[in-house]
Amino acid sequence: MVVARQSSIKNLLLILSLQTIPFSPQIKVSSFSIRTPLKHHNTYAISSSSSINLASSTATITKESKVKLNVLTNKKSIIYDGSEYDALSSLSSSIPKSHGDSGRILVTFITGKEEGTGNRYVGILPGSNEDGTDNDSRSIVIDKNIKLSIDNAAKIPKGISDEDAISTAMASLINIHCSLPRIDNVGGEGSDNSSSFVSGKVVVLGGGEYATFAAKGLSEIGVDVTLVSTNSMKVPGVKVLPPAVGEMEIGFSSVIGEFDSILDTLYSESDGVKYELNRLHKCSRYISTYNKAQDIIRDSGVFFGPNEVKKYENTLFSRNLQSFTQLSTTGTIPYQFGSNTLQKLLDSNIVFNHKKSNYKNSNNNLMIRTWSLKDFWEFTNWPRDTDGGLNSRFGLPVLTEIDLFEDNEEEEEEYVRAASSSQKQTIEINPFVTQVQNIEQLQEEILSPKRNCLLFLTAPNCKTCFRLKPAYTRLARQNNNDDDDDNDNNSVLYAQADVVTSRTGGKELGKLLGVEVVPTFMLFRGGSRFGPLINVSKLPSEKLDKAVQLLVSGRDWDASVLKELEK
């Protein structure tokens, strides 16, 4: 008690002595150094001098203007492996192609405050030889040792944390920037006015957080985006389709038609599928984010796989960072990633929340994207194409196609070449019969406008089909002359489709319609299939006439009417 009382008396005397000092604008009482720990980084800032401002009876601590804090606030490195490594290498030929499990690259992201302005920035940590680091006019100066290229850094708006800015940069570098359809070197390569702009269609496969973030980001940047998922969902500004579309369960790629890029968050398809996507849909970029962790889970399953993933990740985390190929040392930081991609996402508040991301973090801020149970189940539940193997996801091209007929492609091509040019011209300019070459045209000509239609299904190497074509044209002409109004509900569109030729998409159309023999006829009422396939070998045909009468009458399909004719 005596010690406590003496201490109290000393404190009281000190307060009274301070109150007796004459007021002055500023009196420097002491000069000392302080150490302030930097968030998420193992360095300390040292301030020079501090003072006590006695402009009032209450003593307050202020810092002089010459006090300068270290402005590097966050630094994290991520390992991109599997198909994410391949996606990054697609942007530059100087990044070596992966061989087996060798494809891994380390990318370091930082956040910090710009000298002079105090603005916060996020970007990829450059190497000493990166373009722009020695040119202050093209750089954002973080400190004397760190300069970010303007093209590969983005200003962080208020309300977005450094952690979310880095998480957004890590995700968007792969799943948005790599998949962007763009036109480069506008204004001429090497020109001061040279730039690139984004234009085109992108299809995103998957409905997890990684996929939906990419879809929203791509849409915000100005891309026409379609997200394909087995999950029923809505994404603002994005068209969402299931793998099988509509009552006829048409594959999503056939419904979309042509597109520039695919971003696949669920799997990595073979080169053969990529070739077919390019050939059939003009898809020039296939980007997959299927990483090593996802591959392990797919091979080992959800029961044994997680332990295998943990072993793999711990092996990487135990390695020295210098043992990885580093993006900053290759001189290949993706051009305009910050200005054209990341900045637009942050300004629009499209952020990949670090708390909801599936990034695994080690003790030394080394990160890797791990697997997602939601993505695993979606891949498992994705409908499979019966014409392909177990991994042939419905809606993508199938490589193991079985011909509808025993005749091979060479015989088909020979027959086509043997046809006279006059016969070809007759088909091309036939004003009475609409030509349907693929699923996309089926959608445009019959399904979407909800037409009544009689569709003649043929093959180039079918002699019976060849004989029926003139008679079918006469039938179409007669019925078109009888219908004065094309929009009449009783009018019938007469159409013809080759369901064998692969190069036009006819083979895929034949599979969709379930065609096994030709010639055959199919009816549509209001854009929906009406009745079964009808096989006839000559025209005119009473059987076909009765079927068309049922079509326009509005009555339900009555198979007994045709059975009576067969008797």
- 434: amino acid identity, one letter: T
Rounded to 10 deg, the angle between the 559-566 and 542-553 helix axes is: 160
**pLDDT (tens place) for every residue of the chain, 567 residues total:** 434 444 444 444 444 443 443 433 333 333 333 333 333 333 323 233 333 232 333 333 233 333 333 467 889 999 999 999 999 888 876 777 765 556 899 999 999 888 778 889 999 887 644 444 455 556 777 766 777 778 888 999 999 999 999 999 999 999 999 999 865 544 444 444 445 567 799 999 999 999 999 999 999 999 999 999 999 999 999 999 999 998 778 889 989 999 999 999 999 998 888 988 998 899 999 999 999 999 999 988 888 999 999 999 999 999 888 888 887 644 566 768 888 899 999 999 999 999 888 898 887 789 999 999 999 999 999 998 766 555 689 999 876 433 344 444 444 444 344 443 434 433 446 889 999 999 999 999 999 999 999 999 998 878 888 889 999 999 999 887 665 554 566 789 999 999 887 777 888 888 888 888 889 999 999 999 998 889 888 899 998 999 999 999 989 888 887 776 665
Task: Please give the C-alpha separations between residue 447 and each of 99, 397, 433, 438, 526, in angstroms, as whole numbers.
Answer: 46, 22, 17, 13, 8
| Owner of token pair 């080394």 | 366
pLDDT of residue 453: 95
Q: Which two tokens stand for residue 3?
A: 């010690």
Whether the CB-CB separation of 353 and 359 falls below 8 Å is answered with no
CA-nearest of 26, 24, 61, 67 to 46 is 67
CA-nearest of 260, 256, 103 to 178 is 260
How many whole angstroms separate alpha carbon 498 and alpha carbon 460? 7
pLDDT of residue 25: 38
The SS3 assignment for 128 reads: coil
Domain boundaries, the chain: 25-70, 409-566
- 248: amino acid identity, one letter: M
**CATH code at 409-566:** 3.40.30.10
pLDDT of residue 566: 61
Strand partners, 384: 393
Q: Which two tokens stand for residue 279?
A: 């050939």
How many whole angstroms separate alpha carbon 434 and alpha carbon 469? 13
Q: What is the DSSP string of 209-272?
A: HHHHHHHHHHHHHT-EEEEE-SS---BTTBEEE-SEETTTTEEHHHHH---SEEEESS----HH
Tallying the residues shown for the chain, one arrives at 567
pLDDT of residue 488: 61
Quote the distance between the C-alpha of residue 271 and its chain's center.
18
The SS3 assignment for 344 reads: helix
How many whole angstroms separate alpha carbon 219 and alpha carbon 222? 5
Q: What is the DSSP string of 69-96?
A: ---EEEEEEEEEEHHHHHHHHTT-TTSP
